[in-house]
Amino acid sequence: MQIEQLKQRIDRIEESADQAKQACQKGSPPSDLRESVARLHAQASAAKHAMEGQASASEQNVRSVVMQLEDAADRAMQACRNAGNVDPQLQQAVQRTHAEASSLKKELMQAA
């Protein structure tokens, strides 16, 4: 995967995580879900910043960033399931972020 494609994918993940954070702020989800979404957003922002300005990032560094991002998305997804009745906008944003992060991780692992 080219570095520009990778940056675009991480940008989309960060945008979805931002939407989840905004949906969290509008509603009153359980604290576990709110914290998981905040961690996911922070991880997505960190991944985006790690990739900015990188003409070429080491493969190991990229994998590490994506693995951490996918782990944060897994935790947010689980918190969403555990919360039960969650605002549809929040649920969709978390699901979208999780799907993007999982897909990116899978592609990177297959390319290895």
| pLDDT digit string, tens, across residues 19-29 | 999 999 998 89
Q: Please tell me the distance from the alpha carbon of residue 73 to that of residue 102, in angstroms, as a whole number.
A: 8
Q: What is the pTM of this model?
A: 0.89
Q: Residue type for 10, please?
A: I
The domain spanning residue 46 has which CATH number?
1.20.120.230
Query: How many domains does the chain fold into?
Result: 1
Which residues constitute the domain of residue 44? 3-111
Q: Please tell me the distance from the alpha carbon of residue 99 to that of residue 17, in angstroms, as a whole number.
A: 11
Rounded average pLDDT over 39-62: 81
Instruction: Show the tokens assigned to 108.
Output: 């990177």
Q: Shortest CA distance to 71 belongs to which of 40, 49, 50?
A: 40
